[in-house]
Amino acid sequence: MYKSGFVGLIGRPNVGKSTLLNTIIGEQISITSNVPQTTRNQIKGIFSDVRGQIVFIDTPGIHQTTAKFGEILNETALNVLSDSDIDVVLYIVDVSRPFGPEEKFLSENILHQKKPFILVFNKIDCPRTFIKEYTQLFSDFKSVDISALNKTNTEELIEKIFNYLPEGEPYFDPEEITDQNLRFITAEIIRKHVIINMQDEIPHATAVRIEEFKELPDGSAVIDAVIYVETESQKKIMIGKDGSKIKTIKNFSKRELKNFIQGSITLTLNVKEKHNWRKNNGFLKSLGYTEKTN
């Protein structure tokens, strides 16, 4: 009996949603870091075996915000609750962190939902100080204790998911692990290395756009990308002394891109200022972020 369906991942920032997705798929489908709001889009990861196919949808972390861009990210995440195509939702929590305002906001949106939920207690290798707060509130939910980083009990979680999925044909070729195209993957890889190398300096104020992506007959690729920041001072920091910072970002990005591109890679990175781009509806839309509507 072959099963297939869609599974949404939801939770506040840095609870391990993207790490769990990458662990289950066996590849880095969704970029990860210790910086909140690293995930900005709904990212699909495809798991297939003899039992069936699970299409996981990673989402941005739910967080308190009054900023336009933050509201767009929250709405992107909450869409998995209302999307009729989603068969199961995994509510992922970090058992080492207390129940906070993000959980309160999420619980108000989750508890009235009729679709199946699985409460996923992540980071069980850490002190499980706050697990009781979640079990009391979500007493009707099935739960699984896991460590996404150490792959603990991930197979048990997969088995529970399959129990909820309907019979059906695969939605994607079983050999595929994501529906993201190479342009999107390239932009995410560059953004990942911006986050890693800039640390707490300016990662939230950056966006990446692929201006040109040419795949040549010999398997090589020519890529022209722009990294947007919000101020001239951020631009100077991003470039670094004598171009040292942007060169480091470029080199690490090229190294990771070799996992996806067989031939040589010509990568050009330009840094441009786009003042307050996170508040600019038109620019956000051009980057693929849908404006929140009431």
Reported as a pLDDT band with limits 50, 70 and 90, residue 74 is: confident
- Residues making up the chain, counted from first to last: 294
169 CB neighbour count, 10 Å cutoff:
9
What span, in angstroms and rounded, lies between the C-alpha atoms of 202 and 36?
Answer: 12
Question: Token pair for residue 2?
Answer: 């072959």
SS3 state at 9: strand
Considering the domain 3-164 in this protein, what is its CATH number?
Answer: 3.40.50.300
- CATH domain 182-286 topology: GMP Synthetase; Chain A, domain 3 (3.30.300)
Say yes or no to pLDDT of 145 above 60: yes
Q: Tell how strand 52-58 and strand 86-94 pair up.
A: unpaired
Pairing of strands 207-215, 86-94: unpaired
Name the E strands within 151-251.
207-215, 221-229
**H/E run at residue 103:** helix 101-110
One fold for both 3-164 and 182-286? no
Q: Which two tokens stand for residue 124?
A: 């069980």
Residue 294: pLDDT band (50, 70, 90) is very low
CA distance 75 to 291: 9
Intra-chain end-to-end CA distance of the chain, in Å: 42
**What are the tens digits of pLDDT across the range 79-123?**
888 888 999 999 999 888 888 888 888 888 887 788 899 999 998
| Cα gap 288→129, rounded to integer Å | 39
Spans of all domains in the chain = 3-164, 182-286
Q: Are strands 221-229 and 265-273 parallel, antiparallel or unpaired?
A: parallel
Residue 218 contacts by C-beta under 8 Å, 6 or more apart in sequence? 263
Token pair 């080492």 in the structure block, residue: 96
**pLDDT at site 293:** 46
- Provide the pLDDT for residue 130: 77
Tell me, what DSSP letter sits at residue 72? H
Integer Cα distance of 139 and 23 in angstroms: 27
Mean of per-residue pLDDT scores for the chain: 88
Nearest to 256 by CA among 38, 43, 58, 28: 28
Beta bridge partners of 275: none
Would you state the pLDDT for residue 200? 66
Distance CA 199, CA 177 (A): 29
